């Protein structure tokens, strides 16, 4: 595969850093993007210390000015692949959901990907190559109680991808959404604890009776599965795969 410059939001930890590490091992240059400057620098340094190519950039994906400034900051490193991964979670009944938190989730996981696409698409079009890969969720397809903002944002990514795909049919730019069921990351660990409180269950019961119960395979999705799916979508073999929703759900949605 041709070596690419890969920009990963929320790349300093969890799914983002898992994808970053795998793609770095394949020889791609990784741009770790995170709102936490220290975390971004530390993650990039970790990759470089292992002999890989990586750099860091600080960005608030919710802030249009911060995002648009990336064009200047990265002028020597044009972005070939955008991985929209940054995300947070908040679990609450809709009537108790803090409005500012609801808005924050939408901004990070839906507005942010739109702003980043808007920023990087012109140079992708000019070079006639680009891959935009949204990290969605099983909750892009189905819903769970107490996650109204998260589910709304992740559903919105599918509409964004379909629209951008229609607008980029004239060049070698694709946009797709990878939708895993639960991946064992720090974010999910926090969800387990929150769900235990909300449902008055033990954390073990949350895993077995809520998270993995709908999955025939009864397994968390691995970071390597996500990284390999991302790598495939970056390849020339995927040049006609666009506007698609790739679901890694252990059979969840077969029911």
From the list 120, 150, 182, 252, the catalytic residue is 150
Active site residue 182: no
Give which of 217, 189, 213 is closest to 203, Cα–Cα: 189
CB-based contact 20:43 (threshold 8 Å): yes
Length of the chain in terms of residues written: 255
Enumerate the active-site residues: 150
């Amino acid at each position: 595969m041709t070596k690419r410059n890969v920009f990963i939001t929320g790349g300093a930890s969890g799914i983002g850093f898992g994808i970053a590490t795998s793609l770095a091992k394949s020889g791609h240059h990784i741009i770790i993007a995170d709102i936490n400057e220290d975390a971004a620098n530390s993650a990039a340094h970790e990759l470089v210390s292992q002999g890989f190519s990586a750099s860091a950039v600080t960005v608030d994906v919710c802030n249009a000015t911060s995002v648009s400034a990336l064009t200047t900051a990265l002028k020597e490193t044009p972005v070939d692949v955008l991985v929209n991964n940054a995300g947070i979670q908040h679990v609450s009944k809709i009537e108790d959901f803090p409005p500012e938190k609801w808005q924050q989730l939408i901004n990070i996981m839906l507005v942010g990907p739109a702003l980043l696409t808007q920023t990087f698409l012109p140079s992708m079009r000019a070079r006639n190559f680009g891959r935009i890969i949204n990290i969605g969720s099983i909750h892009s397809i189905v819903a769970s109680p107490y996650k109204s903002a998260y589910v709304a944002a992740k559903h919105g990514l599918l509409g964004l991808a379909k629209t951008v795909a229609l607008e980029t049919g004239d060049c070698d730019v694709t946009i797709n959404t990878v939708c895993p069921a639960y991946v064992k990351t720090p974010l999910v660990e926090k969800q387990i604890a929150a769900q235990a409180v909300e449902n008055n269950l033990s954390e073990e019961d949350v895993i077995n009776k809520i998270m993995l119960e709908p999955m025939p395979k009864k397994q968390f999705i691995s970071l390597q599965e996500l990284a390999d799916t991302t790598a495939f979508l970056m390849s020339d073999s995927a040049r006609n795969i666009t506007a698609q929703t790739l679901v890694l759900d252990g059979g969840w949605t077969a029911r």
